[in-house]
Structure 1
Amino acid sequence: MTDAPSQIEHDDLIDIDFLLTPEEIALRGRVRSFVDTVVRPNIADWYDRAVFPVEIVPEMARLGLLGMHLKGYGCPGQSAVDYGLAALELEAGDSGLRTFVSVQGSLAMSAIYKHGSEDQKNEWLRGMAAGTTIGCFGLTEPDSGSDPASMKTFARRDGDDWVLTGHKRWIGLGTIAHVAIVWAQTDEGVRGFIVPTNTPGFEAKLIEQKLSMRASIQTELILTDVRLPATALLPNVEGLRGPFECLNEARYGIVWGVMGAARDSYESALEYSKTRLPFDRPLASFQLTQQKLVDMAVEIQKGTLLALHLGRLKDAGRLQPHQISVGKLSNTREAIAIAREARTILGGNGITLDYSPLRHANNLESVRTYEGTDEVHTLVIGHHITGIPAFR
């Protein structure tokens, strides 16, 4: 652990940096510098035009952000805490950036890494870690979000091949992906398939006119008699355990990431309150404003401590699914409240893209929904507490 207070975290009220190593602080600084120099000057324009900046993917790869927590096969092999710190800094820029890293690494790459054959890992993971191959993860369907067991996408055997037919929706990166991990019902239960997106019968359509996650890519996948060889099947998992293990990787990143959006919202409001001069005095000098700022700062500290604790548990091999649900539920809920409260300090100016809080708040509405809604995570925790499943 580091003994000296960090110079980078001037709002670290309770010295959380004392719990980080110098190497972790240095990694965080590198990602923060990337966000400050590449993302912040451009994010308002990207968001306004609903553009995901694919040109920054090579730099993300050079920073070791793709498949960051995976080891071997050209992957960076960083710790869970390293990945969390990077997720926090990325989402301080925009949720869409952290989502890209999450879809690529925690979902698509993790599916191959956890459940694929050695041949599949060797074929795909190096290019994905380098950012030259983009992946997506096809689980959610138009009528099947929180209940993936009801998915209608089906893969049938035809000789040695599989023929895949179905419809997926809210699939990140589908229109720029080179490979899709698609989960489908089969006569043997739910299985995962590696689907090159240039396979005949595969179509990706962009979901447009979004009010949230505008600097990100969400799509529909339409699969019409997509013929795949036997080698496309992920051989090492059957049933919903396969996608759920990947979703837990993504949910873990969210626990950290949303605190980045919250912190950026708070810092935007704090700086504004020092320079805005209603009634000939700084807005920050009013008691009600200070109460808002203090409440935001305290919740950010608590949420970051929770994320760090879960990261240490993950690195120790002790992290349980219900603990991830605690983090995702609590931190996302608090991050939205912080972003909304920060917007109130900005007044009417806060509805413009000159300031980040309302953009973060809009994005967080999506983050609150994907990888498990509040209701789903509440019931996961409720099941753990009571021993009684209440999903049905």
Structure 2
Amino acid sequence: MGPHHPSTHGVFRMDVALDGEKVIKLKPVFGYLHRNHEQIAETASYLAMMPYTDRLDYFCSLTNNWAYALAVEKLVGQAVPERAEYIRVILAELTRVQNHASAIGFLIQEMGASGTPLMYAFKMREKILDLFESLTGSRMMCNYMRFGGCRVDVSEPWLAQARKVVEGLPKFVDEYEALLTGNEILMARTQGVGVLRPELAVNAGITGPMLRASGVNYDIRKVDHYGIYDRFKFRVPLGDHGDIFDRYMVRVLEMRESIGILEQALKEVPGGPVMDPKAKIRGFKPKPGEAYGRIEAPKGELGFYLISTGNPEPYRYRVRPPSLINLTVLEDMCLGHNVADVVLIFGSVDIVLGEVDR
């Protein structure tokens, strides 16, 4: 299947062995979109790599920026102003909402539904992308975070528009769930299909909504308290069965929790600078050392491992992408199911090929 099958979300291939309609073997095949991302980083300055991170998970460029900025800030011990931390949280949670809504829309479309759920999600996503564009100048390739803060400040009109968008999100999620959750076809096609056992999920390094749908309570926002997440009240939704339906439902519930975080952050965002005045932009040469920075990206743990030898370029730049790691259990989830179920199981993983093939 693939590398140009409609369900593969890009140039991805699955070698599937069947007994009739039953899957007896499945091998994911990567590499069609390899862009030499990590090697480029070893010949570019630290700052020059920020826009490259946008191209990893291009649905979630702002969270990509944050993970990379966090790694560099750990490497040099860089502080971040409080206002910038709030802005980062607001942008990250807006990114999570639009990612989950879109992922669900694609999943339902692959189930054979018309484009209605996906277009409904994209209608909401447009409002969030309008916010991103007015702040950063770009809808998807935002290049907004900097080591020690953010590139530009948000204005009061922008915050007012963000509050207006967030006020409409609970109604959107209510209507989206009412449209889908009780649908007989959705339940028949997803419940008990593509089960991922919690033991296998942990052993395979699965993270994000896939891990939590299997009942494992692990969210890096709670574990590491990076940024200022320890200031916000939110739950970590968990599934009971680890099937496609649980992976769908966890994303719905995570959207609701993100809305709660957004309401708190937009209410409490303080004044002040958005860049640490001590942050060094030109002539940036970290002392020799290494650091690993990670965040709870919408698809799971996104981490950057950096090694500095004191030069303007990283000696080593390694990406830990959730899409690639989460795909490693695809065969385990598909064995014994019909070939038609493979498309849905794959869709429930929620990948972007840009971070699978670096």
Say which one has the larger Rg: 1
TM-score when normalising by structure 1 = 0.33
Q: Which structure has the higher relative contact order (CA within 8 Å, separation 6+)?
A: 2
TM-score when normalising by structure 2 = 0.35
